[in-house]
Amino acid sequence: MIEREWCVCPTHNYLVIQKCGNSYVRDIFKKFYGDDFFIAKEANRNLRWTVVRNPRERFISGLAYDIWKNNYKNYDSLFSNIDKIVQYPVSSTFYNMGRVKHTILQSAYLVLQNVDVFVEIKDLTEFCLLNFGMTSDVTNSVPDEYTLRVKTEITDRNLQQRIDDLISNDVYLYNQIMNSDRLWCWQNGNILGTQLKQQGNEGEK
């Protein structure tokens, strides 16, 4: 089974999905809660939420990130075994070392997990403003040249359709989430039960 991480906070639980704004969210938690949250393999009974992202964008970003972080140069080997890129599970051995495939399907993180609310990554800044009264400048972004190289390799090797096939489950699930009543929008406001700090509210006026 894939090793999941839940950030358990006083009024809610956040399911970590790699390359879906995780660094941004954790920075918000550190600023808002200090040490009053912890990482667990299971959520408690409070509201459970997570962030999702367009599967094609996430796949390219995740692959570019892994190439960059691991200084990987063997593109022929990588793209000739493209099927292995999305495979899971993630063992606790490598997960705890930070050696995670950032191309593992986000649907793999969500299987058998009861998530109450989904936030599309493009709405994450607004979500954090309304639920925590703050934003973050922390991102785990990839240098542009790596993203461009991945896109070029996919086009030059004519792998667009193969990749679409590999992420088809993610695309289906993402579309279902985008059309469900569990997708957060700004009109929903603060759903996490967080009490916004006074200085945060004043700063937004």
Does residue 178 carry a pLDDT above 70? yes
Letter for the amino acid at 88? Y
Does residue 139 carry a pLDDT above 60? yes
Q: Could you give the dihedral angle defined by the CA atoms of residues 65, 70, 75 and 81, in that order, rounded to the nearest 10 degrees?
A: -80
What average pLDDT does the segment 113-133 reach? Answer: 97
Element (H, E) at 8: strand 6-8
Q: What is the pLDDT of residue 92?
A: 57
| pTM metric for this prediction | 0.89
Would you call 40 helix, strand, or coil by DSSP? Answer: strand
Q: What is the pLDDT of residue 199?
A: 43
State the Cα–Cα distance between residues 140 and 113, nearest whole angstrom.
Answer: 25
DSSP state of 36: S
Q: What is the pLDDT of residue 202?
A: 39
Q: What is the pLDDT of residue 112?
A: 87
What average pLDDT does the segment 24-39 reach? Answer: 95
What average pLDDT does the segment 163-172 reach? Answer: 95
Does residue 91 carry a pLDDT above 80? no
Query: Helix, strand, coil % (nearest 5) of the chain?
Result: 50, 10, 40
> Is-cis flag, bond preceding 55, omega within 30?
no
Letter for the amino acid at 77? S
**200, 125 contact by CB (below 8 A):** no
Q: What is the pLDDT of residue 2?
A: 62
